[in-house]
Amino acid sequence: MSSTETYRDRLYSNYFKDRYSESTIKKKLAIDLYHLEKEILPLLPQNKDAVVLDLGCGHGNFMLLLMQKGFTNVHGIDISLDQIRKANELGLKNAVHGDILNFLTTNSEKFDIILGIDIIEHLKKGELTGLMNQIYSALKPEGIAVFRTPNADGLANSVFSAGDFTHENIINGFSAEQICLSAGFTNVRILKSYIHTENPLKEAIRKVLWFWFTLSKRLEIFAAGISSKKVIFTPNLIFKVVK
C-alpha cells in the first residue's frame, strides 16, 4: 500500500467523526443541503427518469434530496465506508463503497447526469484529469456533469482550501474550464456559488461588505493589468458541462 493510500484510508475512514461533533455534523449537512438545493438543482434537467450518479456521495444527503424531488434512478459512490454504511441504513441501496476512478473505469453503465460535489479538491492533478476523461466516457450523448469545488479566487479562500487536510488542489474558473475542454467537453458554464446568512441584519451587513471587498479585489486585479471580467469571488466555484 502506498503512503497516499495509507493517508487516505486513515483520514477518510472516519471523515466526519474526526472533524465534527454529532450535533455539528447534523447542522452542517442541513446547511449544505439548503445550498445544494439553491445551487445545483436548478442546473439539472427536468427528466426525473434520468440516470444520476453522485460521485463522493457521502452518507447520501444529496441522493435523498434528489429522490424527494422525484428522481427515480439515483446512484452514489464514496470512498468512506463509514458514510456508505450510514447511507445504506437510510435505505440508499444504490450507494456503494469504492474508489470513484476505479468505478468509472470498470462500470459499463452510462449516465445522464454525473455530480461531483466537493470532490475535485480531494484529487491530485493527474487523478483529476483522469477523472474528467472517465466522466466524459461515462456520460450518455447530451449528458451533463455538474461540479462544486473551493474557488482559488474566492474571498478568504484559505478557509476552504486549507481547512481540510485531505484537499490536494484548488482551481479557479479558468483552470476549471481548461480541464473540461481538455477532456473533450465543449459546452462549459462557470458559475458562482450561493452565499446567504440566515439573520437578516447579518445578511444586510454581509452584502455591503461583499460589495466593498470584491471591489477591492477587482481593483487589485486591474492594477496588475488583468481583466477581472470572468473572475468569480464566491468561496465555492460551480461549473456545468454538457457532452
Mean pLDDT calculated for residue range 124-146:
94
Beta bridge partners of 151: 171
Going by pLDDT thresholds of 50, 70 and 90, the confidence category of residue 143 is: very high
- Residue 202 sits in a domain whose CATH number is 3.40.50.150
Q: 3-state class of 110 per DSSP?
A: coil
pLDDT digits (tens, 9 = 90+) for 170-212: 999 999 999 999 999 989 999 999 998 889 999 999 999 999 9
Counted domains in the chain: 1
Neighbours of 190 (CB within 10 A): 18
42 φ/ψ angles, rounded to the nearest 5 degrees: -65, -15
Q: Is 1 helix (H, G, I), strand (E, B) or coil?
A: coil
Residue 178 sits at the vertex; the CA angle it makes with 104 and 154, to the nearest 5 degrees, is 100
Query: How are strands ordered across the β-sheet holding 51-55?
Result: 95-97, 73-78, 51-55, 111-117, 139-150, 236-242, 187-192
Domain span at residue 154 reads 3-242
Is 70 exceeded by the pLDDT of residue 123?
A: yes
pLDDT band at 136 (very low <50, low <70, confident <90, very high): very high
